Amino acid sequence: MELGIFNYSNRVCSSNVNFKRKLTEEEKPKMEADMNKAFDYLGIKNRALIIHGSVYPDSKDGVKNSHNNAPLIRNHYVGTPYRQRDFNKIAKMHGFNCIQLGPNGELCKGDNSPYRASIYAKNPLFLDYGEMTTDKYANILSKKDIDEVNSKPKKSGKPYEMSDFDEAKEVSRILTHKAYENFESKLSKGDINAQKLNKEFDNFKENNKNWIEKYAVFHVLSDIHGTDNFHNWDNPIDKHLITQQKNNNVKANARYELIKKRSKDDINEYMFTQFLVDKQEKADKAEREKDGIKYIGDLLVGFSYADEWAHEDAFKSGWKIGAEYGGPCNSPQIWNNPLPDPDKLFNEDGSLGESGKLLYNKVLKATENVENVRVDNVMGLVDPYVYKADTVHMITAVDNGQSYSIADRGKLNGGNLSSKPEVDSDGNYLKVLHNIVVPALKENGINPKEAVWENLGEQTDAFKQVFEREEKLPGIILPTGGRTQELCFDWAPVRDEKTGEIKKNAEGKEIWEQSVQKPDWSLIGSHDNMPTFKYLNQGWIYDSNGGGYGWMPAYLGGYLNPDPKKADEKDRMISDIQNNPRKRLKAKYAELMRGTQNIQVTFSDWLAIDKTYNPRDNSSDTWKARVSEDYNDRYHDNLITERAPVMNMPELVGMAVNAKAGMMVAKGLKPRDEAYAEANPIMDSMKHWENVLKEPES
């Protein structure tokens, strides 16, 4: 089914957009307070907006940070999660109380995927150059330095912008080099601020000495060899430098010392850049704490080439981690991620071995400056799909007329680790969650029961035993094709305390209650999915036998209007959903906010951005979509013009509140008058803000 109303991806918005008014400074805290009350009523503890660091919008010219009055001058070609006070406060006003980021590690040179980023080194593209023009950073950059290389790209005219990673990396290279040169110059002249900054730098190097120098040497070698894929380096000493050093190889020791001596400035510059990123990340955390903005980090399952090179002995030679399904034509996903050696996870005395320590430190690094964490592909930490790297054979497959290069499943020699005793003979990987990941989370103050565990996709019995039965951890629920209420709650009959008989309501029906609300996270789509409104062009959602039950008018209308005495409202909604795609979409969003304790919403759904962030098709646009600078103006305009189906959060939450009150009545949990006396004031406030957001500028 093709619904032209949502096919606006190639239409450039008019330059004469009639933007609607935004809330006044007096209204903002009131709306935020009312949204929080509504979510408290619904029992939704965490409301996460999924937006990776590079997706954040550019800063407007002339804007300054209210904490230190430093100009906001970011890398115009890519977003950054630091000092995003305005965007985060707007998200918070709409009811989001946490931001779910992607991994924040340094990207590989030839790969922009944050899921191939480093676990130790952080992304220098996220630096805010404006901060470096202040005394706190010894004025190591000037506005002129920045303006000479960081020209602002022309606006696209679309509801989104696109990151330009090549330009962003070049701008970062030039400006971090300039900053280091200026720092060294000021330090040599006895500049007081530079001396203060140098003390911080020395402390950073000391606190990170277990990795920082090795990664700096790798950075130099990757420049020498023209790639950071060290497997392709033609110098065997360089390729295995750290491993051979550990074995006291004379040539390796000499080569390492030669690189350090010959490239002393390059090494120190790399370490200084990492220091700047770390300093800004910590400062950003302090600012966010004042604003009550919580970040959810992302513990990637993979490793960068730098990680693998610096810890080569920690990985199982020849074996890689991927995923059995999810590639083109549902082929295996060949991630080329190295497999931490199962035999080196634990020593005989139970202490952590070489690969165990690497995993432990990986968790610590991913969670050091955030308040919570998303664990990417938790199967990869329990019972990963592994394959022999030298058995990968690619064939051509055709799907809907498009050709794909996919892995030949028959020749891949892949399987889950629990079925590969030749790789993990002692079943050590099944102990990783309990003995490594969970303790590391707790060390950084993160409650494993509140973390976001990505348990989507195929699950083996070995995984279920560890994840569900032993650890009892919350997972992610996709209500896209199912019933959220049944998935997220355990129901039990209400029994008389004396007789044990099941209680009945006035109509003679058994009374059931939500006995346990599972702490799962519910979402319709993640950063890997197309925007939800594009599902309305997918035929499967209109087929109740083809996975689309959760989109059916009768289900959504009944679920959101369960009060038997409000049958007319239910019938009207069912009719509306049947005849109006936009009403179906709103009902689906409202369902998400009704039946779970924790929810996630993508930036593309909230702002109706017609671009898939990670289409998983190896296209040139993968990982590049980002929020436009004028997102707030466009959001308000779209609420009234309906050019794009943005989410009116008060409207959707109001629908969910009505559904909960009706459910209380239908289940006999509360008398009708009592249920609506509690819910009506909340629904009234949601209706108020729903309308205010659509008011024109006076």
Q: What is the pLDDT of residue 252?
A: 97
Q: Would you give the DSSP letter of residue 468?
A: I
Q: What is the pLDDT of residue 65?
A: 57
Q: Please state at what angle helix 250-262 crosses helix 264-291, rounded to 10 degrees.
A: 70
User: HSE (CB half, 13 Å, CA atoms) of 508?
Assistant: 0
H-helix or E-strand spanning residue 287: helix 264-291
The CA-atom distances, in angstroms, between 678 and each of 404, 505, 662 are: 55, 20, 12
CA distance linking residue 611 with residue 613, whole number of Å: 6
Q: How many residues are recorded in the chain?
A: 698
Residue 160, helix vs strand vs coil: strand
Region label for 617, one of left (φ > 0), alpha (ψ between -120 and 50) or beta (otherwise): alpha
* Full-model pTM: 0.91
The pLDDT averaged over each successive group of 10 residues in the chain (698 residues) is 41 40 88 98 96 92 59 90 94 97 94 95 96 96 94 81 94 98 98 98 97 98 96 96 96 97 98 98 94 96 97 96 86 92 97 98 97 96 94 83 82 93 96 98 96 90 93 82 46 77 82 66 91 92 83 93 95 96 96 89 96 84 93 91 94 97 92 96 97 81
Query: What tokens does 523 get?
Result: 């979402």
CA distance linking residue 139 with residue 127, whole number of Å: 15
Q: What is the pLDDT of residue 1?
A: 38
Q: Per-residue pLDDT tens for 507-543?
A: 787 876 655 556 789 999 899 999 999 999 999 899 8
Spell out a b/e string for 660-686, using b for 16 or more CB atoms within 10 Å of the CB, else e: bbbbbbbbbbbeeeebbeebeebbebb
Q: Per-residue pLDDT tens for 393-424?
A: 888 887 777 787 888 888 888 999 999 999 99
Q: What is the pLDDT of residue 516?
A: 53
Domains, the chain, ranges and CATH?
4-42+478-692 (no CATH), 43-110+120-294 (3.20.20.80), 311-447+460-474 (no CATH)
CA distance linking residue 238 with residue 228, whole number of Å: 12
Q: Show contacts of 484-487: CB within 8 Å, 24+ apart.
A: 484/522, 484/550, 484/591, 484/592, 484/594, 484/595, 484/596, 485/559, 485/594, 485/595, 487/520, 487/522, 487/595
Q: What is the pLDDT of residue 491?
A: 55
